[in-house]
Amino acid sequence: MPTMEITEKNSKSISFVIDNFVIGNIILQTKEEIFEKGSVAIPYLEGSPGIGKTAVIGSKVKDLNWTLLTIQPALKPIEEYGGIPRFRYIPIEEGKKILATEWSIPDILVELHKRSKEYDIVVFFWDDVHLCGPEHLALMQECFTERSIRGYRLPANVGLVLAGNDSNKAGYRSLSSAIINRCVKLPVHPDFNEWKNNFAIRIVHPAIVSFLGHTMYAKHFQEEEQIDTPWASVRQWTRLSNFIVEYEKTLGATMPPDMLLYYATGHVGKEAASQFVKYYEIFSKFDMEKIFNDSESFELPVDIIDRYAMIFAIINYFVNNYGKTTKDKLTKDLVNIVNKYLKEESALALLLLKEIVLIDKSVKTKAKLDVLDLLSKIEEKNPGVIGKVLDSRQQSDD
């Protein structure tokens, strides 16, 4: 069971909230008997910009083989979600007609009906609702109360979820009391381990993941939002990573410090960028091929941050080259490296093994890692190590 972190705003991690409250709520929304009893309150994920609200719910929905239809109503013309009026004559009594307004079926409703036939559940996700004006709020109230838009009913298997925040820095506009009274506000925040284990370990540059994973730099994972200046957030670290990964892949080289500092500052601000560039230089300076070839005689760095960065560089090299070279030799070299760490920095050795176990569990590698073989070879010379690694993993899961 995850640790329940309570803050002044009673905020909990995004994944915890979605797993324990939102998914079940969505299912209830699709049950006709629940709607007849007054339905359930619409989940409103409230949290700072860039913490991954949309990304996390998108991932969860995909895992369930549902589909997610996201709209940002405040950023689009009202006609896109509310349809357009057309006029026609309707009879009111024999021989008399009046000119009346009839609304077209909104495009978004057509898409909802299309997806409802292809998936068991359609999650209709209203993002950035804190920016909505009166016209959009009127549509929201009809949607939440009657499960319809302009009189056209939502498909029965559609569940509604909202997302936004209450910060004036993010352009907050008050939601009406009628809307709030139909929602359940769920304050959320990002959790590093959830982000890392469920997302980042698969696609984010290992230098960024390991940088944010160190207690010295953890404050830069998600900073307080700013006006007119960049700040570090889950979103911006991910986007910075995408650029660095493609740069290294395309040019076959690491980014020069001055270029990285300039570009990173525009993503995460001066302080976080400066600290990260220093760490990136450490992470990138090791000659991994030489270290693996000299695995029995290489020397560990003296500085503790260097030793920390090295283990993630080692993991990155091992995973990326597993299958490209002789697996037995690569495993043997890694065993030698781990043994060296166990003698001089045992906590980091256990962290290295824990990370490899996590990658084996979470990442689809080019060649399947034989983690059991690796651990058994290390256990031969260091009895009890496997138990410590498993205990460490269990504590992380809890």
**Of 191, 186, 163, 238, residue with least CA distance to 15:** 191
From residue 231, alpha-carbon distances to 13, 54, 136, 179, 196 in Å are 20, 19, 30, 31, 19
Q: Place domain 12-190 in its CATH homologous superfamily.
A: P-loop containing nucleotide triphosphate hydrolases (3.40.50.300)
Q: Provide the pLDDT for residue 4.
A: 44
- The CB density around residue 54, as the number of other CB atoms within 10 Å, is 17
What global pTM score does this model have? 0.83
Tokens for 148?
């319809």
pLDDT at position 175, please? 81
Say if CB 379 and CB 386 are below 8 A apart: yes
Taking the domains of the chain in order of start, what are their residue ranges?
Answer: 12-190, 193-397
User: Which CA distances in Å does 126 have to 114, 160, 173, 313, 349?
Assistant: 18, 8, 15, 40, 45
The segments of the chain whose pLDDT lies below 70 read 1-9, 35-38, 167-172, 324-325, 363-367, 388-398
Structure-block tokens of residue 356:
């490899």
Tokens of 156: 């029965």
Instruction: Measure the CA–CA gap between 336 and 396, rounded to whole angstroms.
Output: 26
Q: Are strands 85-93 and 96-103 parallel, antiparallel or unpaired?
A: antiparallel
3-state secondary structure the chain: CCCCCCCCCCCEEHHHHHHHHHHHHHHHHCCHHHHHCCCCCEEEEECCCCCCHHHHHHHHHHHCCCEEEEECHHHCCHHHHHCCEEEEEEEEECCEEEEEEEECCCHHHHHHHHHHCCCCCEEEEECCHHHCCHHHHHHHHHHHHHCEECCEECCCCEEEEEEECCCHHHCCCCCCHHHHCCEEEEEEECCHHHHHHHHHHHHCCHHHHHHHHCCCCHHHCCCCCCCCCCCCCHHHHHHHHHHHHHHHHHHCCCCCHHHHHHHHHHHHCHHHHHHHHHHHHHHHHCCHHHHHHCCCCCCCCCCHHHHHHHHHHHHHHHHHHECCECHHHHHHHHHHHHHHHHHHCHHHHHHHHHHHHHHHHHCCCCCCCCHHHHHHHHHHHCCCHHHHHHHHHHHHHC
Lookup result for tokens 């695995």: 295
pLDDT, residue 120, reads: 96
Q: What is the pLDDT of residue 394?
A: 53
Q: Which residues contact 346 (CB under 8 A, 6 or more apart)?
A: none
List all residues 6 or more positions away from 176 whose beta carbon is below 8 Å from its beta carbon.
137, 141
